[in-house]
Structure 1
């Protein structure tokens, strides 16, 4: 059956390491299994010039909050990977790298865990594989001409990786917006299929918006402000909503689609169909889409921030006026890849959860474990680091520690 361990943590990214910290504090024997050859989590899949979209002050992994000289700066990818590796060393995390878990099944009141490095028995299992498990690429990608280079953002690294010619980016969330800006600066012609991910100001009322989100998530419930808790979501599907469209590149700044359009990015609606002759069709609702993108922050987030500032009596400058911009693109709803000299397509279409390793009926219709605060319906099985596990910050460095502490307490109590 393999060696016995009290708790196996599947994944040694920020979520798994945070769980390891709290389990270690509680004296619970545990082991982390990491499929990658080196630590650093999914940050290793970001492009070369990637910078964290949350300021350095949000790096609050338990026991080692950021204490460097630039709390308001945005950490570049390689430095962020180093931060994660240093944290693992700092807490003495018991990690086995290069060990891919292939099956988790119930056995004798615990679990039988099969991996590429052998089998284990465990009383508890913590799923800490994160929210960026499987790149999501639309089925219509199969209809594009074979000579077109197709990359998911997971595999994009730098402009030089792409063949000469124009680039179509599908999706305008954080990755799509930032890569569009990077390629534009590199002199590439860019077409961007616009989604409805909301824009947000990088700073609001004197602080980075992450400052307000962190405070609202941690202290808001004390004032009856629960907008960033999972219970306030309009539906379970909303757990997969886009993060605000901002950038950490170049010291951090706003990203506005209309401004990108004015700078030369050709904006289109939602990509609806593709044919093997290179003919694409987009939705013809681009003005409406841009309106949704620009209004959402002021409809959803701004009132929560203002209410929190008022409730706490915090000192903050007056509320900023919503940005006004009436510029509209004039791109047609049909586009031929050949005529536009588009030679590559980047799918900025996000990720889907993949818990195919689970031989346990605990997933809902969205492939999300059924749980309460990370404690799943199956005794001894836990989850941490998933989007909106308990709140908006559950999948990011700033918030994962709270959820990890709760499940570690639950495991220790068993």
Structure 2
């Protein structure tokens, strides 16, 4: 196994790695992207068949490639998103080596030694661009479900026909959980949803797309004394791993109106019986109120600051009590044949071999510049701001990282 020398090695060729590659090229810094997958497209390749972005096309502002297509207000499906990034990689001449999984990293000779199954790299700098979707997260309760019930994480779910006939329990009410539950209802399935502590948001506000508002605040807000939520605004470091908000059109309340049965947090099992918390009403109330508390005042202040005369929307709260299911459920009696765990992901940087991770497995850093000289991170949740891990926000963080590299020499 030989050793290949590269100035900057970027681990991961998803949106974060490609955005970093663009800025490295602009700065004239030699680099190589390695990715464990055999094909480009990152974790988008793990989404279900009918998946569509909730970010409209006009917000897909990749560095050096703003959206210029014919449908700025449309939403790309999974396969189109994958093709977008494959085209982007070619368009920016990103030097990518696929099928190359990094197994270990160590400090060596004033830089780093990075090991893969087929080769080692000697790199002056390393950028961790593996993204937030690293290892599917399952709660301990999953181990107690009977073997007769098929269990899938949302990472492995593709379409309703993949599941055995019968009712389905979807655990989690973030973007993935609510969209999958909605699809199962449309397919005629009986659906139970274990509601989690996830916020909700409207697709549009005061006649403008939600992401139009967010991008205005991101780009123009500082001129008017406002900004998108930053990592320092979080109540605790654990809040970095909160779920992505669902859209109100697929909210737990709307799912219940379409026939879904809502339950609280999965607490455990006893044979074929699942026990739930009695917190559905509180979680639904939080999901509906969060937008009014965190974003409505910000958007209204921006509209006033720039003189936008737009009709006001009524508050999302005050819609009455949502129907709740029982706090225990006999899976066999209810005909539940499958569970889809829409419970998110956890980070896995165990291969780093460096003492730079906090108790959540997140690198200690300052806007992506880690405490280990020469080691950087990009595309992680709340790296700098709320949009740090999504397409509209990752480019600015990547530009900052490369600026720091240039300054460090």
Quick check: TM above 0.5? yes
Cα distance in 2 between the residues matched to 1:91 and 1:185: 40
Q: CA deviation at 1:323?
A: 5.2
Q: Within 5 Å, give how 1:307-386 maps onto structure 2.
A: 307-322=301-316, 324-386=318-380
Alignment correspondent of 1:270:
265
8 Å CA contact 1:199–1:255 kept in 2: the answer is no
Cα distance in 1 between the residues matched to 2:397 and 2:322: 43
Q: CA RMSD in A?
A: 1.3
Q: Within 5 Å, give how 1:197-216 maps onto structure 2.
A: 197-216=198-217
Give the SS at the match of 1:357: helix
Give the SS at the match of 1:290: helix
2:5 pairs with 1:7: no
Alignment correspondent of 1:255:
250
TM-score (norm 2): 0.97
Question: Residues 7-65 of structure 1, C-alpha deviation per residue, up to 9 Å, x if partnerless?
Answer: 00000000000000000011000000011000001000000000011001111110111
Question: Residues 274-294 of structure 1, C-alpha deviation per residue, up to 9 Å, x if partnerless?
Answer: 13x111110112122211111
Indicate the larger mover: 197-206 or 314-323: 314-323
8 Å CA contact 1:4–1:120 kept in 2: the answer is yes
Indicate the larger mover: 304-313 or 73-82: 304-313
Cα distance in 1 between the residues matched to 2:55 and 2:314: 21
8 Å CA contact 1:168–1:193 kept in 2: the answer is yes
Alignment correspondent of 1:84:
85
Alignment correspondent of 2:36:
35
Indicate the larger mover: 299-308 or 264-273: 299-308
TM-score (norm 1): 0.96
Give the SS at the match of 2:103: strand
Q: CA deviation at 1:74?
A: 0.5
Alignment correspondent of 2:286:
292
Cα distance in 1 between the residues matched to 2:168 and 2:152: 11
Alignment correspondent of 1:411:
405
Give the SS at the match of 1:179: helix
Q: CA deviation at 1:324?
A: 4.0
Give the SS at the match of 2:48: coil
8 Å CA contact 1:268–1:286 kept in 2: the answer is yes
Give the SS at the match of 1:320: coil
2:115 pairs with 1:121: no
Give the SS at the match of 2:115: strand
Cα distance in 2 between the residues matched to 1:238 and 1:293: 15
Runs (4+) off by over 6 Å = none
Cα distance in 1 between the residues matched to 2:93 and 2:69: 21
Cα distance in 1 between the residues matched to 2:11 and 2:336: 41
Alignment correspondent of 2:219:
218
8 Å CA contact 1:226–1:232 kept in 2: the answer is no
Give the SS at the match of 1:393: helix
Alignment correspondent of 2:386:
392
Q: CA deviation at 1:296?
A: 1.0
Cα distance in 1 between the residues matched to 2:148 and 2:174: 26
Give the SS at the match of 1:258: helix
8 Å CA contact 2:264–2:280 kept in 1: the answer is yes
Flag structure 2 segments of 5+ consecutive residues without an equivalent.
none
8 Å CA contact 1:214–1:393 kept in 2: the answer is no
Give the SS at the match of 2:312: coil
Flag structure 1 segments of 5+ consecutive residues without an equivalent.
247-252
Cα distance in 2 between the residues matched to 1:165 and 1:122: 53
Cα distance in 2 between the residues matched to 1:97 and 1:191: 40
Q: CA deviation at 1:223?
A: 2.4
Cα distance in 1 between the residues matched to 2:232 and 2:324: 41
Matched positions, count:
407
Alignment correspondent of 2:112:
111
